[in-house]
Amino acid sequence: MESRKVQKVGYSTLSISLPSNWVKEVGLKRGDTLFLVPEKDGSLKLFPSNQLKVRGVVEEYTCNSDLCVGPKMLERIIVGNYILGRDLLTVRSSGRMHSETIKEIRGIIRRLIGIGIIEETPDHITLQCSIDPRKFHLDMLLRRLSMISLTIVNEAVQALVDLDESIAKEAIGREDEADMVYLLAMRLLISAQRRRDIAEEMGLKDPLQVLYFGLVLRYLELIADYAEEIARGVIDLLRRYKDQLPRQLIERIGDMTDQARNLVMQSIDCFFMCDIRIANNILGLVRSIKQERDRLIQMLPEIPHLDLIVWNITRIADRGAGIALKAINNALEKETNICSKG
């Protein structure tokens, strides 16, 4: 970060000099026009007129697939470019592209909302994303992700309670949808972080909201992962130990799951309502869930996956508690009867 002293020119005009490196980088010349946009946080956004002319130009990025030799490396590069908000990516090979590479590209774009192949030749594939971040609201995506994640939780444990493998398979099938919503939301958050006008159109009026939304989205994505792990464990349990499962303890696991799921639901509501009292009460519920976990662990028979299922339910409750903490932080950004200046 560079600093500049404010100089007085004439009787009333104040001025500062521009950093020479920045002037060269943007191609600024004497007589060019600069545009100044005041921001709500007191900062001033400055950009030259020539940037306005190319603002709608889509920058193209290129990935050398020959160098993507590690497992899932190319997939992660495509996802990384997607999250960074890049709209045009060409995956290129020095020769004919391997069928495994093409399969990997097609496989990952099915999990990325708004992206598709616009050009394909023997040695390259060009991907384009057509998402306009201004058309999305993060609160809607967050609620959507919470619904998907909690549905996976409910179905995973319901499969255990009902001894129904098909319900667990449905839960696993929903995890891809959770990933799709999460990756889209992260792409939008990064766009909002880079441009304040986009953030405001998405409903993010304060820069700290970008941080809070990012953390809550991550917690919800983890909840979906824990629930998928539960579902896979349930399938193995039902195939190998279906007749050995203790009915009473399984029902208690179901009740414990209901408590954890309700905790997460209340935390999400609290995050939007900014209610410190309710958030604080939610944090107190985690202790009782952990106490029930400890009791169950002592009583469970030595059957694979059962104890891991119970621990994952606790982890889900912990992520709900994390959301409640972010709800308190979010609420403290505004003055309330509980906490105010002075």
Please state, in angstroms and rounded to a whole number, the distance separating the CA atoms of residues 305 and 250: 12
Please state, in angstroms and rounded to a whole number, the distance separating the CA atoms of residues 313 and 2: 49
Query: What CA–CA distances, in Å, run from 339 to 17, 141, 151, 174, 321?
Result: 42, 30, 36, 41, 21
Bridge partners of residue 64, in order along the sequence:
92
Please state, in angstroms and rounded to a whole number, the distance separating the CA atoms of residues 78 and 104: 10
Please state, in angstroms and rounded to a whole number, the distance separating the CA atoms of residues 314 and 297: 12
The string of pLDDT tens digits covering residues 287-307 is 999 999 999 999 999 898 999
What's this model's pTM, rounded to 2 decimal places?
0.81
Q: b or e along 43-57 (b: 16 or more beta carbons within 10 Å of the residue's beta carbon)? A: eeeeebeeeeeeeee
SS3 label, residue 259: helix
Please state, in angstroms and rounded to a whole number, the distance separating the CA atoms of residues 320 and 304: 26
Give the per-residue pLDDT at 40. Answer: 58
pLDDT in tens, the chain (342 residues): 677 788 877 666 788 888 888 888 777 887 777 767 666 566 777 767 555 444 455 689 999 999 998 899 999 999 999 999 999 999 999 999 999 999 999 999 999 999 999 999 999 999 999 888 888 888 899 999 999 999 999 999 999 999 999 999 999 999 999 999 999 999 999 988 888 778 877 777 777 888 899 999 999 999 999 999 999 999 999 999 999 999 999 999 999 999 999 999 999 999 988 888 889 999 989 999 999 999 999 999 989 899 999 999 999 999 999 999 999 988 887 777 787 776
Give the per-residue pLDDT at 54. Answer: 44
| Pair 155, 171: CB distance under 8 Å | yes
Query: What domains lie within the chain, and their CATH numbers?
Result: 7-53 (2.10.260), 60-129 (3.30.110), 134-331 (1.20.58.220)
